[in-house]
Amino acid sequence: MTTDLIQVLIALLAGIGVIILLTAKYRVHALFALFLACFVTGLIVQLSVADIITAMKDGFGNIMKSLGFIIVLGTTLGVLLEHTGSTRVMAAFILKIVGERYAAVAMSLTGFIVGLPIFCDSGYIVLSGLNQSLAKRTGISVVIMSVSLATGLYAVHCLIPPHPGATAAAGAIGADFGKLMLMGIGVAIPAAIAGSWWAHYAGKKIPVVQQTETSEAANSPAPPVWLAFLPVVVPILLIAIGAFTNIEKTTNGTLRFFHTLGDPVLALSVGVLLAFAGGRGWNKTTTGKLLGEAAEKAGGILVIIGAGGAFGAVLAAAKIGEHVSAAVPLGSFGIVFPFLLAALLKTAQGSSTVAIITAASIVQPLLPALGLESDMGRILCILALGGGSMTLSHANDAYFWVISKFSGLEMRTMLKVYSIATLWMGLVTLLVVYLLSLFLL
């Protein structure tokens, strides 16, 4: 092991240790813990202070650019749905269909289906109000409900096009998109089951005080079922249409219009407007108060997510992938190497998309040495990369903080339940891909 590799690994462990120590033990706000971790990690790998600050600004800005408006609009949608009683109506309808006993399983399945066309961040934000309402109504721990939903969304986000990581990897490695999607769904199912299983197993051991709905909310007029679901279903459908239509290859004006509406920002904006239809007696005082509440709530989430992006950018500047590829005998690992490389990159810098894209660029010229140069080998390689990009989601992952803040879960609980769930998901994915490789290669 080279001195440079040892140095970046020490820096990684030190940064993660600072975050966990300050947030879990000393209850320091995550923004400041992440901020300090950036400097600790950067200085250990001998980045200059100027370079650290530049990386932090870029990381913070990139997260704001990709998730800023989505967080604000998603938060607003949740506040409005809660105020109008729509989440209560949706919860009652779903429970009527599946029964209270299987509410957590229903959320995992919902997350899996919803996650097919949209990012896990967007999907969780859209469904978080419904998730909280179901947890209150059934008495099932919000830990179990939240992690079941989160892992259902996460499984498809890391493995299946049109999500950017799998899509970019397929382009870089040269795999068939259709086959990748079909096999990706098959591999994502056991991954989602593993995440939901751990949520049930570990979540039931953690006592959580359930919030109770106020009598005002329970007795207020509620919208009909179709109107309650509309602000959630329409944005999801619009985003799905946007994801599966190629605006560059069509001259159909209608398709181009819906492709534009499929942008998550516009789709969520439509959802916010539809949410107003579920309430009555709107006036400027009520509207202003609710929008102000949503903006304040979103602001607290954004600063933490932005700081997580800053920390990830500092770690990326350490060029961990280059050090690993130079130090490890790649040819002897086969299907395991893509998984390990993506897992290391994911754990180091937080983004599953960045992890799989970066790892794919490293693995592509190594496919013959790894024995993965065939068409099926390339697909299995991408699925192994996707499994690695699940492992391990923790404090430098924006999605980690989306789940934490929208569910009200503490750092310690997130690490014990959600982070370990993503580890199980990654390992199950690796096992499934390895077994497939025995028959298909």
The three-state (H, E, C) secondary structure of 308-331, written as one string: HHHHHHHHHHCCHHHHHHHHCCHH
**Cis status, amide bond into 224, omega within 30 of 0:** no
Supply the DSSP string of 20-66, one letter for each residue: HIIIIIS---HHHHHHHHHHHHHHHTT--HHHHHHHHHHHHHHHHHH
Q: Residue 355: name the closest of 331, 333, 386 by CA.
A: 386
Give dist(CA 198, CA 441) in Å, integer: 31
Q: Are 401 and 418 in contact (CB under 8 A)?
A: no
pLDDT value for 214: 41
What pLDDT is recorded for position 217? 44
Closest CA to 341 of 358, 329, 317, 353: 358
pLDDT digits (tens, 9 = 90+) for 178-233: 788 889 999 999 999 999 999 999 988 776 655 444 434 445 578 898 998 898 88
- pLDDT at res. 163: 83
Residue segments in the chain with a per-residue pLDDT below the cut of 70: 1-2, 24, 117, 207-220, 243-252, 320-332
Q: Model-level pTM?
A: 0.73
Inter-residue contact 413 to 206 (CB < 8 Å): yes
Residues 6+ apart with CB under 8 A from 416: 202, 206
Q: Which amino acid does the sequence have at 11?
A: A
What torsion, rounded to 10 degrees, do the Cα atoms 302, 345, 422, 386 define?
A: 110
* Other CB atoms within 10 A of residue 224 CB: 11
Q: How many residues does the chain have?
A: 441
- Dihedral of the alpha carbons of 43, 45, 48, 49, in degrees to the nearest 10: -30
pLDDT for position 145: 93
Measured distance CA(26)–CA(17) in Å, rounded: 13
Distance, CA of 122 to CA of 235 (rounded, Å): 10
